[in-house]
Amino acid sequence: MKNILEIDSVLLKFKSTVILNNVYLKSETGIITGLLGRNGTGKSSLMKIIYGEIIPNDKSIRINNSSLFKSARSPKDIRYLPQNKFIPMYLTVQRLLKDFNLDFSDLISFFPEFQKHYKSKLKNLSGGERRIIEIYLILVSKTKFCMLDEPFSQVMPVHIETIKKLIIREKQNKGIIITDHMYEHITEISDSLYVISNGKTHLTNNIKDLQKLGYIRNS
């Protein structure tokens, strides 16, 4: 089944500063939605609003045309990978995979290096290894929509390529919203691309749009 998430009419202010104003964004099963924008333009805030972690001054969010009025979200509907680590360090890879109902064999088919880490606690993994586990759990576990906030920072280039393959596999079952300043990876895998500028989302098609919106320099 195809699921559609839409958000519009967003107004987010911190004190008197307007961060987001009149945003529109759509995510749907089978589509990778890229979100770009300069530092501080509100990409993480928009994801947190969708996830229900920030309550903005105004918003309208719908899944399959039903409005979400409550702030609590079910993991069956939306999963969110925040920028900062969020999983308790004392949990093992084995325990996390069990909790998220995931297979170790699938993880190591993408990341064979993790064979030795089945019983490792997160605190005993490197920063990049921990990030890969977090990305895998959020991206692969069952849900309608998955939001990834800067999945590529901390991860080495070979693993970035693997994560991109995993994202492309997973979009068959869910809508994926992704932001990262390694924008070439985002433009490469995105089916639909928005840039946030001056509090608004701009649906963009090409690199020229990114230049016009001040996200990258004119070459």
Three-class secondary structure of residue 43 per DSSP: helix
Binder of ligand ATP out of 5, 10, 19, 186 (CB under 6 A): 19
SS3 187: helix
Three state DSSP letters for 92-152 = EHHHHHHHCCCCHHHHHHHCHHHHHHCCCEHHHCCHHHHHHHHHHHHHHCCCCEEEEECCC
Answer for the pair 135, 82: CB distance below 8 angstroms, yes or no.
no
Among 5, 34, 36, 43, binds ligand ATP (CB under 6 A): 43
How many C-beta atoms surround the C-beta of residue 151 within 10 A?
25
Segment lying near ligand ATP (by CB under 6 A), choices 41-49, 71-79, 157-165, 185-193: 41-49
Q: Is 41 in the site for ligand ATP (CB under 6 A)?
A: yes
Q: Which of 34, 42, 56, 175 binds ligand ATP (CB under 6 A)?
A: 42
Q: In the complex with ligand ATP, which residue's Cβ is closer, 10 or 140?
A: 10
Q: Are 48 and 7 in contact (CB under 8 A)?
A: no
27 near ligand ATP, judged by CB under 6 A: no
In this structure, the dihedral spanned by the alpha carbons of residues 67, 72, 78 and 80, taken in order and rounded to 10 degrees, is 130
Q: Considering only the C-alpha atoms of the chain, give the largest distance between any 2 of them, rounded to a whole number of Å.
A: 51
What's the gap between Cα 142 and its chain centre?
15
Q: Which stretch binds ligand ATP (CB under 6 A): 42-50, 84-92, 100-108, 200-208?
A: 42-50
CA 148 to CA 167: how far, in whole Å? 10
- Which range, of 25-33, 35-43, 160-168, 182-190, touches ligand ATP by CB under 6 A? 35-43
Considering only residues 57 through 76, tell me which ones interact with ligand ATP, judged by CB under 6 A. Answer: none
| Least Å from the CB of residue 53 to ligand ATP | 10
* Residue from the set 14, 124, 153, 169 that interacts with ligand ATP by CB under 6 A: 14
The verdict on 44 binding ligand ATP (CB under 6 A) reads yes
Please check whether residue 49 is in contact with residue 68, taking contact to mean a CB–CB distance below 8 angstroms: no
Cβ-based nearer residue to ligand ATP, 45 or 114: 45
CB of 173 vs ligand ATP, minimal distance in Å: 26
Is position 151 an interface residue for ligand ATP (rule: CB under 6 A)?
A: no
Here the tokens at position 156 are 């080495």
Size of the site for ligand ATP (CB under 6 A): 10
Interaction site with ligand ATP (CB under 6 A): 14, 19, 37, 39-45
